[in-house]
Amino acid sequence: MSTAVAQKKGFGAFIWDYLTTVDHKKIAHLYLVAGGLFFLVGGLEALMIRIQLIKPDNDFVSAGFYNELLTMHGTTMIFLAAMPLIFAILNAVVPLQIGARDVAFPFLNSLGFWLFLFGGLILNCGWFLGGAPDAGWTAYAPLSAVSPGHGVDFYVLGLQISGAGTLIGGINFLVTIINMRAPGMTYMRMPLFTWTALVTSTLILFAFPALTVGLFLLMFDRLFGAGFFNASMGGNSVIWEHLFWIFGHPEVYILILPAFGVFSDVLSTFSKKRLFGYTAMVFATTLIGFLGFMVWAHHMFATGLGPAANSIFAIATMAIAVPTGIKIFNWLFTLWGGTITINSAMLWALGFIPSFTIGGTTGVMLAAAAADYQYHDTYFVVAHFHYVIVGGVVFGLFAAMHYWWPKMFGKILNETLGQITFWTFFAGFHLTFFIQHFLGLMGMPRRYWTFLPGQHLDTGNLVSSIGAFFMAFGAIVFVINVIYTSVKAPKVSGDPWDGRTLEWSIPSPPPHYNFKQTPLVRGLDPLWIEKMEGRKGITPAEPLDDIHMPNPSILPFIMSLGLFIAGFGFIYQVDNLSYLWLVILGMGITLGCMLTRSVKDDLGHHIHKEDLEEEGAEQ
């Protein structure tokens, strides 16, 4: 069936299309919308936190509600905003960059999204069902194990389900990048964004199972009376800290590495230069990924692991600064000697360099264990990780959206609105978080609902809160930009930026089979090579032929829905055992879907050569 027919369908068919889609480009749209909405929710929570802290002894929100806000702000931003937005970009770009027609596991790709979405919904259900999670996004035991009500149960089940989705997504991209590359696309010719996607997927694969186990232990403690974290039963609260951070530290790199990839591609494109020190950049990326697993205990310097362990983890942590520094300098020298175009995408990339350098340098300061005894769990840490995650990941996501928006939707985001967003968000970001370094050292621990007057903390907090409003303003302008662009902006060509990599060699947005003929890759920046040799597009690696594509399926949606139902069963069987029926129902739905998937052959369909030739004539 051709794409022209699909476009004439009604709204119901449109929804059904997205519910059943296994097309990585549409899954990217789903991730983008869901992640974007959760980002706004998390932002709203952040604003309420900053309003509460605008002056001492404030009572804008109650202490209990504040704890729910801070927990959900962290959890939402990490798991429900940053992760899916990164998956949105990965889905939209990686298959195109390697010259593939789809991902390795289109069905699982869809399943990964729906699991994430239903997990995210469970997490947020707490708001309406008697209280959201309130033990911090790190959910340290035993507080998380004894926290009354069902709040933390929503955290446990929600993250478990969305975590499974993330793991599936990670495996999918690993196999896609390893097995689905176009002819000639060797590892050392992959765009750096694809490289970072590969390393990030590896980190997901090895980091998330530790969280899975941690969540299971917490779930058994809370829902089935186990004693992993119950000291009176011989339990040990430090186990949670280890498991959480064995996952949690790599998670930081899972988030930041794709952002590094985005900046590498953006800086190279808009300075019209090949990425400086490509080999070193690849090496640095893998080294960061590897070291990311060796440093989890630097989150636990105050846990009392002893000076030897603290020193070892301090030095290992400092070591990560070396490959990160290599990256910063290679970016600077990519710009050096180039001819730099500054537009919104590039502004985010250029704003990233100083911001992230501050975040990186405070990271080294935090690595000094004995000094961390002062920083730990204060606003210094809050400042540091916002510099890294906002200044790195969020800036990266904004850059990626401005850069690839035309590829995803065929339209360039409005430049004026883009610049307004950047400048307000950038100024607001530094205003909010720079001062927090000092607040921390001046004696303000993190997760404080209120602070007392007369402790010289008033001005700093006020400044910080004002900054938050600037960031909110910038984010709102971005939303307006998206709406404005989709209504007003003209269609653009397949290659609006004079791009260098394969995704710019096909129309915008790409046809659902991406490449009519699989491209032949002849070096790093394959499109650039062809352009320099005077050709218009990429040389194909095969003659025009039938294209095999996977079939859409509703099963991923139903399978995730089953787990969603079972999740509620698990949570409420504590109050009333008859809720176990919900568990059985939900698990039955999910296992039934798996069985259906296993016994029902899904061989996909073919797009015929004749149709492809027709479409070619239309263009």
Partner 1 sequence: MKGWMGKFRALGIFGFLMLVLTGCGKENLSALTPKGYGSKAALNLINISLGVMIFVFIVVMVIYAIVIVRFRKKKGREDYIPPQTEGNKALEVIWTVIPIILLVIIAIPTVAITFDLADESAADESLNVNVTGNQFWWHFNYEGQEIQTSQDLYIPTGEKVYLNMKTSDVLHSFWVPALSGKMDLHPENENTMYIQADEEGVYDGKCAEFCGTSHSLMDFKVIAVSPEEFDQWVEDMQNVDPEAQPETADAQEGQQLFQDNSCIGCHAIGASPAATGPNLTNFGDRTTLAGVNEHTKDNIVDWIMDPESMKPGNKMADANYDVSREEAEKIADYLLQLQPSDITPESAETNE
Partner 2 sequence: MSDQTLNPETMPEQPERATLEGKNKFLGFWFFLGGETVLFASLFGTYLALRNSTNDGPGSEELFGLELVFVMTMLLLTSSLTSVYAMYHMKNNSFGKMQLWLGVTVLLGLGFLGCELFEFYHYIHGEGFTLRSSAFGSAFYTLVGFHGGHVTFGLLWIIALMVRNAKRGLNLYNAPKFYIASLYWHFIDVVWVFIFTVVYLMGVI
Residues 542-601 that bind partner 2 (CB under 8 A): 595, 598-599, 601
Quick check: 397 binds partner 2 (CB under 8 A)? no
Whichever of 222 and 500 has its CB closer to partner 2, that residue is 222
Which of the residues 169 through 228 are near partner 1 (CB under 8 A)?
Answer: none
Which of the residues 141 through 170 are near partner 1 (CB under 8 A)?
Answer: 142-143, 146-147
Only one of the segments 318-326, 489-497, 545-553, 582-590 lies at the binding site for partner 1 (rule: CB under 8 A); that segment is 318-326
Residue 207: both structure tokens together? 């980091």
Q: How far is the CB of 274 from partner 1 (least distance, A)?
A: 4
Quick check: 109 binds partner 2 (CB under 8 A)? no
Q: How far apart are the first and last CA of the chain?
A: 17
Torsion sign (Cα): 27, 30, 35, 36: positive
Whichever of 6 and 322 has its CB closer to partner 1, that residue is 322
Residue 167: both structure tokens together? 């793991």
Q: How far is the CB of 502 from partner 2 (least distance, A)?
A: 19
For the range 74-78, what are the long-range contacts, defined as Cβ-Cβ under 8 Å and sequence gap of 24 or more? 74/136, 74/137, 74/138, 75/123, 75/133, 75/137, 75/155, 75/159, 76/38, 76/41, 76/42, 76/45, 76/120, 76/123, 76/124, 77/39, 77/42, 77/46, 77/389, 78/137, 78/251, 78/255, 78/389
Reduced to 3 states, what is the DSSP secondary structure of residue 519? strand
> For residues 357 and 384, is the Cβ–Cβ distance under 8 A?
no
Which of the residues 88 through 107 are near partner 2 (CB under 8 A)?
Answer: 104-105
> For residues 35 and 85, is the Cβ–Cβ distance under 8 A?
yes
Quick check: 534 binds partner 1 (CB under 8 A)? no
In angstroms, the CA 474 to CA 33 distance is 18
> For residues 437 and 365, is the Cβ–Cβ distance under 8 A?
no
Q: How far is the CB of 220 from partner 2 (least distance, A)?
A: 6
State residue 114 phi and psi, 5-degree precision: -65, -35
Q: How far is the CB of 343 from partner 2 (least distance, A)?
A: 38
Quick check: 443 binds partner 2 (CB under 8 A)? no
Quick check: 353 binds partner 1 (CB under 8 A)? yes
Which of the residues 203 through 232 are near partner 2 (CB under 8 A)?
Answer: 205-210, 212-214, 216-217, 220-221, 224-228, 230, 232
Residue 95: both structure tokens together? 């298959």
Q: How far is the CB of 8 from partner 2 (least distance, A)?
A: 32
Q: How far is the CB of 155 from partner 1 (least distance, A)?
A: 14
Q: How far is the CB of 598 from partner 2 (least distance, A)?
A: 5
Which of 175, 205, 321, 541 contacts partner 1 by CB under 8 A? 321
Whichever of 142 and 509 has its CB closer to partner 1, that residue is 142
Is the link from the previous residue into 509 a cis peptide, with omega within 30 of 0?
Answer: yes
Whichever of 253 and 422 has its CB closer to partner 1, that residue is 422
> For residues 78 and 390, is the Cβ–Cβ distance under 8 A?
no
Quick check: 496 binds partner 2 (CB under 8 A)? no
Which of the residues 439 through 478 are near partner 1 (CB under 8 A)?
Answer: 441-443, 445-452, 454-457, 459-460, 463
Per-residue CA distances from 358 to 24, 259, 422 (Å): 36, 16, 18
Binding to partner 2 by CB under 8 A, coded x per residue (else -) over 231-260, reads: -xxxxx--x--xx--x--------------
Residue 460: both structure tokens together? 């700093």
Binding to partner 1 by CB under 8 A, coded x per residue (else -) over 355-374, reads: --xx--xx-xx-xxxxxxxx
In angstroms, the CA 236 to CA 324 distance is 35
Which of the residues 165 through 184 are near partner 2 (CB under 8 A)?
Answer: 167, 171-172, 174-175, 178-180
State residue 509 phi and psi, 5-degree precision: -70, 155
Q: Which residues bind partner 2 (CB under 8 A)?
A: 104-105, 167, 171-172, 174-175, 178-180, 205-210, 212-214, 216-217, 220-221, 224-228, 230, 232-236, 239, 242-243, 246, 595, 598-599, 601, 603
